[in-house]
Amino acid sequence: MAIPPVLLILSVLLFFLLRYITQKKRPPPATKHLPPGSMGWPYIGETFQLYSNNPNNFFAEKQRKYGAVFKTHILGCPCVMVSSPEAARFVLVTKANLFKPTFPASKERMLGPQAIFFQGGDYHARLRRLVLRAFMPEAIRRKIAGVEEIAVRVLSSCDGRFINTFQEMKTYALNVALLSIFGKEEQSCIEELKQCYYILEKGYNSMPMNLPGTLFHKAMKARKQLGFLVAKIISSRRDSEAKTDQFDAGDLLASFMESKEALSDDQIADNIIGVIFAARDTTASVLTWILKYLAENPSILQAVTEEQEEIRRSKGKIEGDEEGGLNWADTKRMPVTCRVIQETMRVASILSFTFREAVEDVEYEGYLIPKGWKVLPLFRNIHHSPENFPDPAKFDPSRFEKSPKPNTYMPFGNGTHACPGNELAKLEILVFLHHLTTKYKWSISGSKSGIQFGPFALPLDGLPIKIDSLAEKN
Ligand code: HEM
């Protein structure tokens, strides 16, 4: 029997009312010391103000009105937002033990509850050691040839086409992530794994309703299948290890499997899927912004191209020469390109903020942050403060000729949960830009400019471009 709409609306209102009342049961102990700010409507809080507009405008406006530490209420949660380098450091580094990572339960279920992002304490420290071991420079330098092969393949597949930059960069970032996780083996499972991952991704931001036919349901099924596939890969690796008595320690799966404090197959699967998730859209968004900023700043593009051509020449790579051949030392001779990456990550600040939750009542600068409240360090506000970066809206890579002030630049986060994949991300961007700038030209198609959030900040429509090879440079 269909439920009458009025009854449905009343039940929803009743649900919100009950949640509101139950939340109110535990008032913050010393309301007068809460940071300044507004909490909006009961339960709904200021969610609409945040999402009806560019969220960055919401954060900037609040900071202008209330200062660097302010309270608000979004998505059913009371929050304190912090936008000074000192406050972000307090939350992420010096008092990190008082603030735990927090995600909606549906996201935890989908990625895998034992994945690194959701953890603290000993288990987190153990996972971090294993992840860092696979992504430290000594490990990833062995992957350069593989990364380069992927970059060359993706670029040549784009040649002469109108492309959605973000979609193509996602293909690149996914292939690099899979290479760094599984190495070159197990290719037979990788195609199926990718197909399942695409379904998971589609359902990730959907309503968490696990009913047949919904995107969420399909995603949860795909997640289960991903678990099976990873288990299959683990078992085939165990077999080949037994046969050959050799173990390639250069990838993440090997790092997890070689651990003395063994991880279960489920723990490995949760963390592998989590790393794919962390590695893909982030790197693809940054690359998309770089292509936009370079296209809009011809003199900067020229400087990058000259730097990359110099490397190509110095390696004897002239007309008709074979592809590839970058090595770790080459990637350390790219200061102009590195500054473009740094400045892109500052201006675009693709992760505008992160979430934590206070595990007890915490006092900061005379303000109370009550236990259970969400705490959001606002990376983008820090990156766009004129005190930290003069003329902050201007894309000016030369500002990184000098190091930024301490704790003012955090594109990869800070403290115990800071990004362990940052070296790999930088490496894959450099390799891609080397081949792009020395062999291709591109132009932005359409005149629409703007930002979309999905959830990372992205040029509108994923930045449609036309890309063509510079045949004379090959
Ligand atoms: C340019 C690309 C990337 C950006 C901007 C980025 C940014 C970040 C940030 C800001 C955090 C910290 C989040 C927090 O404190 O809540 C983080 C965590 C993480 N990132 Fe990245 N990331 C990128 C690429 C990658 C790649 C390529 C990998 C793996 C290969 C990776 C793996 C991870 C993991 C596993 C964590 C969780 C660490 C933990 O909880 O201890 N990321 N990333």
- Each residue's pLDDT tens digit, 46-55: 888 887 777 8
66 lines ligand 1 (CB under 6 A): no
- Of ligand 1's listed atoms, the one at least distance from the Cα of 92 is 15
pLDDT band at 57 (very low <50, low <70, confident <90, very high): confident
82 lines ligand 1 (CB under 6 A): no
Q: Is 158 annotated as a binding residue?
A: no
Amino acid 21: pLDDT: 46
Q: Would you say residue 471 lies in a domain?
A: no
Q: Would you say residue 170 lies in a domain?
A: no
Q: Give the span between the Cα atoms of 426 and 246, in whole angstroms.
A: 30
377 lines ligand 1 (CB under 6 A): no
Q: For residue 282, how far is its CA from the centre of ligand 1 (angstroms)?
A: 8
Closest C-alpha residue for ligand 1 atom 1: 283
State the burial class of residue 172 (Cβ atoms within 10 Å of its Cβ: 0-12, 13-18, 19+): buried
419 lines ligand 1 (CB under 6 A): yes
- The answer, yes or no, to whether residue 259 has pLDDT greater than 90, is no
457 lines ligand 1 (CB under 6 A): no
Q: Would you say residue 399 lies in a domain?
A: no
- The answer, yes or no, to whether residue 308 has pLDDT greater than 90, is yes
Is the Cβ–Cβ distance between 290 and 465 less than 8 Å? Answer: no
For position 63, which CATH number holds?
3.30.43.20
Q: Would you say residue 335 lies in a domain?
A: no
Q: Would you say residue 364 lies in a domain?
A: yes
Q: For residue 280, how far is its CA from the centre of ligand 1 (angstroms)?
A: 10
Q: pTM (2 decimals)?
A: 0.90
Q: For residue 444, how far is its CA from the centre of ligand 1 (angstroms)?
A: 28
Beta-ladder partners of 441 = 468
Q: Give the span between the Cα atoms of 380 and 83, in whole angstroms.
A: 8
- Looking up tokens 């074979």 gives 322
Amino acid 88: pLDDT: 98
Tokens representing 290 are: 């770089």
Query: What does the pLDDT look like over 420-469, one tens digit per residue?
Result: 999 999 999 999 999 999 999 999 997 777 888 877 889 999 999 999 99
Q: Give the span between the Cα atoms of 132 and 126, in whole angstroms.
A: 10
pLDDT band at 81 (very low <50, low <70, confident <90, very high): very high
The closest of 109, 89, 86, 110 to 99, measured between CA atoms, is 89
Q: Would you say residue 148 lies in a domain?
A: no
Q: Give the span between the Cα atoms of 441 and 473, in whole angstroms.
A: 11
Report how many domains make up the chain. Answer: 1
Of 30-34, 94-98, 185-189, 370-374, the one with minimum mean pLDDT is: 30-34
> Which residue range forms the structural domain that includes residue 54?
35-103+350-383
Q: Give the span between the Cα atoms of 9 and 7, in whole angstroms.
A: 5
- Looking up tokens 């936008």 gives 83
- Of ligand 1's listed atoms, the one at least distance from the Cα of 119 is 40
Is the Cβ–Cβ distance between 461 and 442 less than 8 Å? Answer: no
Amino acid 240: pLDDT: 78
Closest C-alpha residue for ligand 1 atom 37: 117
421 lines ligand 1 (CB under 6 A): yes
- Of ligand 1's listed atoms, the one at least distance from the Cα of 351 is 10
- The answer, yes or no, to whether residue 14 has pLDDT greater than 60, is no
Task: Report long-range pairs for 193-202 (Cβ below 8 Å, ≥24 apart).
Answer: 193/226, 193/229, 193/230, 196/222, 196/223, 196/225, 196/226, 196/229, 197/222, 197/226, 197/273, 197/276, 200/110, 200/226, 200/273
Q: Which of 412, 428, 429, 430 to mutate to test the pocket of ligand 1 (most atoms within 8 A of CB)?
A: 412
- The answer, yes or no, to whether residue 323 has pLDDT greater than 60, is no
Q: For residue 275, how far is its CA from the centre of ligand 1 (angstroms)?
A: 8
- Of ligand 1's listed atoms, the one at least distance from the Cα of 416 is 41
Q: Would you say residue 158 lies in a domain?
A: no
Q: Would you say residue 79 lies in a domain?
A: yes
384 lines ligand 1 (CB under 6 A): no
- Of ligand 1's listed atoms, the one at least distance from the Cα of 356 is 16
Q: Which of 123, 166, 179, 282 to mutate to test the pocket of ligand 1 (most atoms within 8 A of CB)?
A: 282
